[in-house]
Amino acid sequence: MAAYLDAVPLSGIIRIRDMMYSVPNPFRLDQGDVSFDSPDSVKKAMVQAIADNQTHYLQTAGVPRLRELIATKLRDKNRIPVEDTEDVLVTHGGIHGLYLICRALLEPGDEVIIPDPEWPPAAGNILAARGVPVGCPLHEAAGWRYDLDELTSKITDRTRVIYLNSPQNPTGGVLTRADLERIAELARERNVWVISDEAYEDVVFDGEHVSIASLPGMYERTIPLYTFSKSYAMTGLRLGYVAIRDAVIRDRAKKLLFYTASNVASVVQFGGIGALEGPQDCIETFRHELRARRDLFYRGIHDAAGGTFSGQPPAGAFYAFLRISPAAPKTTGSASWEMVEHLIKQGRVGCVPGVDFGPAGEGYIRFCFARDRMELAGALASMKRLFGTAFVESPESTTDSRLLSADTH
């Protein structure tokens, strides 16, 4: 019986997406999608793949050239000692990679320590693999990082995995090298695995991105997880990858990859080759623009609704995770859901309630600032109308090829 799946929640982000469809001219600051277009290197490679009739079944683990390029990237950029291209499995986006790893690693009842708050599919995938997510709070005052003694106290005899996500969704917290060294020591001492979700590896504004799999002796007990979605603006194309040194776990994951996808879409894999072989300057261009949008959004929100929301600009990722003022009007139930419903229904501004990311997220709200400047400015103007303070910010140039008119929202 698969009745246990009835208890796996569907993320509230989906409920919001459905609400947004009934909103005329919405500002889509709810979902974590970048407004950038995929680079030409990706598009050209996909067009060429179609012209070359690359439309047939492929190797389950991925096209050899793509796996080779990924293994080289993991060694050179992430400093992970991947000796064999066989370690790499190409997946249908990062979310599929996480599904495969959870199913390949967990026995029913195994505990996985996850950050609280956290991207909902982390808990969802653990539950779908019959594991038990155990939340460990991230602390706003520490830049949304762990209290490492508290993290240590969460480990029990049933702990099988620590799931890390840095830079983090929804808070934007970035774990430091020192944090990761302590967590690595803990994982070795207590003999637990680490899943390292590095979906936002290229979106760091302050500090550095370090993969825990690069630390001494850690790759053998860490499964790093990546996606092309954020770094190359390929969210809808669905391309991600994991690297698994342990042959037993990898074989299990490979079987699941076969049974869930057979192989990732051929044309998309060629797009991935284009991304990695092509110029890498889009990564820096995107990061630069995202920093400008972060700053625009934080200046704007302060002016538009400073009394209602507070919080510091994040060190990484592209979300503003803001505390709702306790003075904000509310009736009963969840403060963050009430605020979201108000913003969507009265202001046409999409956003996600903090509680959807875990109990520690109650009282917060998440806005995605990876939308283009016109859309951000429109959302801020709408919030100014709702919250009644002055906000004037004219959007400047943008790297988007598609400029939305504020009137269309």
- Footprint of ligand PLP (CB under 6 A): 32, 93-95, 119, 165, 169, 197, 199, 227, 229, 235, 240
107 neighbors 160 (Cβ within 8 angstroms): yes
Prior bond of 313 cis (ω within 30°): no
- Residue 331 C-beta: closest distance to ligand PLP, Å: 31
Largest pairwise CA distance in the chain: 61
The distance of closest approach from Cβ of residue 407 to ligand PLP in the complex, given in angstroms and rounded to an integer, is 29
Which residue, 95 or 315, is less far from ligand PLP as judged by CB?
Answer: 95
Taking the complex as a whole, the smallest distance from the CB of residue 332 to ligand PLP amounts, in Å, to: 31
State which residue, 214 or 227, has the beta carbon closest to ligand PLP.
227
Amino acid at 176: T
Q: Are 403 and 372 in contact (CB under 8 A)?
A: yes
- Cβ proximity to ligand PLP: between 96 and 409 the closer is 96
> What is the three-class DSSP state of 208?
coil
Closer residue to ligand PLP in complex, CB, 116/338? 116
Give the span between the Cα atoms of 61 and 232, in whole angstroms. Answer: 21
Shortest Cβ 53–ligand PLP spacing (Å) = 27
Closest to ligand PLP by CB, 193 or 228: 228
Task: Give CA torsion, residues 243, 249, 250, 253, to 10 deg.
Answer: -100
SS3 204: strand
Gap between the Cα atoms of 406 and 376, Å rounded: 9
Comparison of 193 and 391: residue with beta carbon closer to ligand PLP: 193
In the complex, the smallest distance separating the C-beta of residue 371 from ligand PLP, rounded to whole angstroms, is: 14
Least distance from ligand PLP to the Cβ atom of residue 252, Å:
20
Q: What is the secondary structure of 218-258 as a DSSP string?
A: -GGGEEEEEEHHHHTT-TTT--EEEE---HHHHHHHHHHHH
Q: Which of 292, 77, 115 is nearest to 201 (CA)?
A: 77
For residue 353, the minimal CB distance to ligand PLP (Å) is 16
Helix/strand number for the chain, H first, E second: 13, 11
Smallest gap from residue 227 Cβ to ligand PLP (A): 3
C-alpha to C-alpha distances, 266 to 6, 69, 117, 227, 240, nearest whole angstrom: 33, 16, 35, 16, 13
Between residues 14 and 403, which has the closer beta carbon with respect to ligand PLP?
Answer: 14
Choice between 266 and 308, CB closer to ligand PLP: 266
> Using CB atoms within 10 A of its CB, is residue 100 exposed (0-12), middle (13-18) or buried (19+)?
buried
Which lies closer to ligand PLP via its Cβ, residue 129 or residue 335?
129
Strand pairing category for 222-227 and 193-197? parallel
In angstroms, what CA-CA distances link 281 with 41, 210, 285? 11, 20, 6
Shortest distance in whole angstroms from residue 198 CB to ligand PLP: 8
